[in-house]
Structure 1
Amino acid sequence: MSRVVVTGRIPETAIEKLRAEHDVHAWTGSESIGREELLHRVAGADAVVSLLTERIDAELLDAAGPQLKVVANVAVGYDNIDVPACTERGIVATNTPGVLTEATADIAMGLVLMATRRLGEGERLIRSRQAWKWGMFFLLGSSLQGKTLGVVGMGGIGQATARRAKAFGMDIVYQSRSELDPVIAAELGARRVDLDELLTVSDVVSLHCPYGPATHHLIGAEQLAAMKSSAFLVNTARGPIVDETALASALREGVIAGAGLDVFEREPQVHPALLDLENVVLVPHLGSATVETRTAMAMLAADNALAVLSGEQPPAPIN
């Protein structure tokens, strides 16, 4: 039996699947595992099932030892993993794409609705127990029908978000490294543009691109200034894609109308300036937070680890 180390709490069904074949050591603490404890636990591991809260770098890979065969990340994003370091050591790195597509698109569309219709402001007003009265100009928001959604990164989640937006009567433009399949493009009525054009024509910009050096602060002061003053920004991808200092300034000064964020630059910290603003919706990385999705993610990660340990090709390899 191989030694499998799970770096954080995951659904028990995935633990049971791993335990049926291997010796599993799973972290069960309510808080994230500390770095020193993690380095100690991975020693001698043949497989590491990791959460996005853990940094899987050369130090950790060396601490595990030369027998380590696979790092199975329970996430679609893998900016927490040093993939070249894995490749250099002959370690397979995997992720969990596909299974969280619909749940994350739901959150993206939810943020669009919350931001444009000022639902967060309304809910806070009610809970503050302040007196309020219906009126023609009370908490006026913006409708979506006939407006344009700009999707940055037209992978599976971007496409799923675009389908939801189309159902609300929105037009779709997108920026992506490659063209959409013509059948999908026709279904969505989506037009490919460069980022500069997308920012200027969109009423809502929704971010779905992967995070890496090329997309660090992809949306900064210059890009925010290019957007319509009536536009909204939504980020369900990775926090550092957006320069939060620039975003807070743009929201405060009316450069754009509002924003909805599920991810943050320095999670779990949130930029203090954002916390003081009414025109931004802030939720704590809930994109994949359904029972069904988190279970599917954990099960796919388990399948990835089990495949590699059996000498087979994993369902979702990164390298």
Structure 2
Amino acid sequence: MPIPGNPLGYTLVYAVESPKGPVLIDAGWNHPDAWEALHGGLGSLGIDIATVRGVVVTHFHPDHAGLAGQVRETSGAWIAMHEADAALVRLMHGLADGEHRSFQADMLRRAGADPAEVDVATAQRPKPPAPPDRELRDGDLVDLPGRKLRAVHTPGHTPGHICLHLEDADRLFTGDHVLPDITPHVGIYPYDRDDVDPLGEFLGSLERIGDMGPLDALPAHEWTFPDAAARATEIRQHHEEKLTELHALLAERPEPQTIWEVAAMMTWNRPWDDLSPMLRGMAAGEAAAHLRALEARGAIRRVSGGQPVRFQAIDS
């Protein structure tokens, strides 16, 4: 399923057969090209989109949930997602564009972003996905007659991200949680929250996938691969190394650093100066998640008083 104008390129959407009609795992980006690709892909399998029974969304992001509403309108299918992401979708539908831009701008300013970047980064907002009809919790079986498709709550990339274990075939639909070559974005929004630890949750979720054994992985991007557990272990190690490097960088700075300054000093897939304002905003969210994980471990502290918020390594 193409994602026009996005470097990821495409989302992999899966159709799981059942005697009462197929259930889709994710639905793709809300765009005419993606809708055409969905029709064509299902048609090549002999599936009429009007027979789709339901859509299970691994998480609420637009490249996964975008077309779920259109599938529902066409086939009468239900839409299911984890209750934590369902709550976020309801929140997004309740925010006017002006409120959302104001929220983003305030968040960026508190992180130490340049005012010019704030204006550019808040210019666009994707349309929120369709609200789900059904909400899932960890361990729930999806309504898929004759099959066993179980939700595995794997928070981190989003609060309600789920993987889906097809128990009758020993396969794991991993969404964005475990990808074969890249790692998913894990950020905090707003950046300066101190009541959540999404990276800590993500690392715990990876450990849980590691305990499930060498299941065949069917991810939402890149390609299918064997042994989801081994890849989950690799991703955990990657983030532990990143946390160690970040702590060392902060220890070298005599003065507390803003989230924006920390993001600029971290290593990304391209130099900081080459990142667009939108990508810098995402990098800041990921930097914030790493800072929060270090703070939760007692390795750094946030300096109280004033804005933007700043962080400093704790002397050992």
TM-score when scaled to structure 2?
Answer: 0.31
Rg bigger for which structure? 1
Identify the structure with bigger relative contact order (alpha carbons < 8 Å, sequence gap 6+).
Answer: 1
- With the length of structure 1 as denominator, give the TM-score of the two structures: 0.31
